[in-house]
Structure 1
């Protein structure tokens, strides 16, 4: 489990932490402006950037009507709220692998000075209220499930910042968004154009190609971060033992078990849980994993673990699994390669934009001590640091290093920074995708590294 590794490594790092150099407050590059977005070739829709252009590489055909072009993640104006002055802007010294291409993550460790949690929080707060009012709050009140897609980033960013700082204002905001969604859910029987009409609670999409329908992708893309938020409450005694948070937790967990997991499982697991590609299925592995760690019902736990294990190891309706997709990278023996289509081993493999979704799940599964190992994470670090992102402004479109991508790593790949200080240091000057999700997860990376999470 990650916690035991942190405790052991944390003691070894204590002397380094005490030697951290005192410097001025960290300041990241200017946030990217509103921009065009990358079309999503394989399912989920991911914000992009005009900083790197698409050279016209061939993309995979959509495999379901849910898979369409991306919708922008609104880049809000600078927040009006001034953050509290950090009381420790000094970088924390942590240990990181050397950056040689073939040996990253396996060579002797070297001290690297990193931006602190407090400094990341300052950047986060500069955008926190503006993104809240212009994007996340109205999306959370929407009756349109398509709006929940981008809302996922607000839930994730606030949960990550709570985990990094322990400040309940961030958990409260994440809870506000989730409570708003749940409070606006309606019975499927009352949704005029629902294709199910079965009485489970949910929402209709207002997007042009799925108007009136209940769409599992839109719901699962957001709800993986809802379950991660709930698990944070469950695993934090100060929250779980507080009657205010416990009552919200109980309500939202019950809704999730019935009207998210049970709903789509009963409607057809092969169609709606064991999805047509790696990234869409990974959302359900994430949700099932979190629920398995929270439920007190042995029967439910067994069901959740079945879905979790199937997606990892033995998809019932496909010839592969997430584990089965992984192979040694054709361009770097220390990295991983995988394709989005089950059973495929063909290059160029998974597109990076949707690879984020896979990585968001794998990182959390690793940290929970479930299925995914330190060795796996080291290979994924090399995949990002050397194959996908070989130099500061060069980003590949696919996990084999080909094509010209956007460099948008917010929703998963950047979370690998918690395992490698050199990668985390690169993220400090990364100019793509700077928003509260980016800053929240960067802060969490810094917190975990300071506790000894480097591999």
Structure 2
């Protein structure tokens, strides 16, 4: 325990600096952190109360704040099991899979983007230039120390560094970006400990994991913190598997094999066996979507038929038939009451009440859906077009105007980095709007904007 405390010092110091940066930037999610409430009713998941943050906010970084620790991070939106009412009236494998540089199977038919339109967009190279201006500062001040921490809470925000670098590799094919994403993930895995050696863990079994140092979940193994990060770990691994130049390279292949084995046992199997209804089939759309994402990726990499069936079961259940709830991601979707060409959905299973899903957490749902669509799994071109309209017309009706909920109500922040902006890969007009968007301009934003252009160009 003393070793854990010593090695967590840098992570805790970083968290303090980030808190200062948030205050300076005036950033706050729709449901600010409330550790006192969460501590009052913490369950073994570490998330069964209000106030689990979604990220740390760079959206006010024009100009960038004087705290470089915040540069690489995204807004502090809590991922709670139940969203607080905003107003009194609210209830509310395959080895043959396509290479990451190509438009994935099933994307044809979106049809809104011409080559001429793509030619008028900011290029991949131009996005990469913006990316590189922040790449090393975010690495040294934020993502590298996070990856070396023993604190699983640090891995939550590390997700953005893994995603941004993976996206930029997919856009450019330059291995320096893949190498950096791999560095972060290898660091995290190297610091995993056997659960039975974590004194305050509720599980103390033979699986590998990490203890949270966050004040309201100290010492606990928290599935949200792990899954939020690991969806981008498995996506990175899929890129290696689907890129012959990487998969057939001994250096990348050895890392891939090790990290895939770790992910299968110490992420999916661990939480599935500890209690799928509690830790995989989560209490709201956004937290469940992380597991659909992980299960989808693993199903496309494993060569074990039994494991693949297990992964696809979780994937299909979350999409279509949650075993512990009356709805599913597909079941939550309905025609928007403010725009018949858009979608509306609520975060809480079975609810159809306005204002619906908050935009901050809606990013997590969209991060999963765009990758499932590109993989040709479950989600259709029609779905994507409705989501594009939801962002373009309902959530972001005009420059500088952002809603807080998917019904267009409330005043939001305009932070779209972690999911909604990825819809730009399907629509050139949306991608053009993203070129002038000033919220959240960090490496995750730039990396995914570059990838959007790459995919738009086919």
For the criterion TM > 0.5, the same-fold answer is yes
2:249 counterpart of 1:220 = no
Q: Which residue of 301, 304, 313 maps to 1:297?
A: 304
2:276 counterpart of 1:269 = yes
Aligned ranges for residues 38-437 of structure 1 at < 5 Å?
38-39=28-29, 41=31, 64-65=48-49, 67-69=51-53, 72-73=56-57, 111-112=116-117, 113-437=120-444
CA shift for structure 1 position 66: 6.8
CA shift for structure 1 position 64: 1.6
Q: 1:222 to 1:360 in 2, by over 3 A?
A: same
Alpha-carbon separation, structure 1, partners of 2:416 and 2:48 = 24
CA shift for structure 1 position 199: 1.4
Q: Deviations over 1:423-455 (max 9, x none)?
A: 00000000000000000000000000111xxxx
Alpha-carbon separation, structure 1, partners of 2:144 and 2:24 = 19
Q: 1:415 to 1:65 in 2, by over 3 A?
A: same
Alpha-carbon separation, structure 2, partners of 1:69 and 1:166 = 33
Aligned 8 A contact 2:113 2:456 in 1: no
Q: Deviations over 1:107-162 (max 9, x none)?
A: 79694310000000000000000000000000000000000010000000000000
Alpha-carbon separation, structure 2, partners of 1:76 and 1:152 = 21
Q: 1:42 to 1:280 in 2, by over 3 A?
A: farther
Q: Deviations over 1:31-55 (max 9, x none)?
A: x996233335499x9xxxxxxxxxx
CA shift for structure 1 position 358: 0.0
Instruction: For residue 146 of structure 1, give the secondary structure of its aligned residue in structure 2.
Output: helix
Q: 1:71 to 1:423 in 2, by over 3 A?
A: closer
RMSD across aligned positions (CA): 2.3
TM-score with structure 2 length normalisation?
0.79
CA shift for structure 1 position 263: 0.2
Alpha-carbon separation, structure 2, partners of 1:193 and 1:78 = 33
2:432 counterpart of 1:449 = no
Q: Which residue of 37, 40, 43 maps to 2:27?
A: 37
Instruction: For residue 202 of structure 2, give the secondary structure of its aligned residue in structure 1.
Output: coil
Aligned 8 A contact 2:228 2:290 in 1: yes
Q: 1:34 to 1:172 in 2, by over 3 A?
A: farther
Q: Deviations over 1:195-229 (max 9, x none)?
A: 10011000000001000000000000000000000
TM-score with structure 1 length normalisation?
0.80
Which sections of structure 2, spanning at least 5 residues, go unmatched?
A: 1-21, 36-45, 59-63, 69-109
Alpha-carbon separation, structure 1, partners of 2:228 and 2:412 = 22
For 2:82, the equivalent position in structure 1 comes to none
For 1:5, the equivalent position in structure 2 comes to none
Q: 1:177 to 1:108 in 2, by over 3 A?
A: closer
CA shift for structure 1 position 323: 0.2
Aligned 8 A contact 2:231 2:293 in 1: yes
Alpha-carbon separation, structure 1, partners of 2:32 and 2:325 = 17
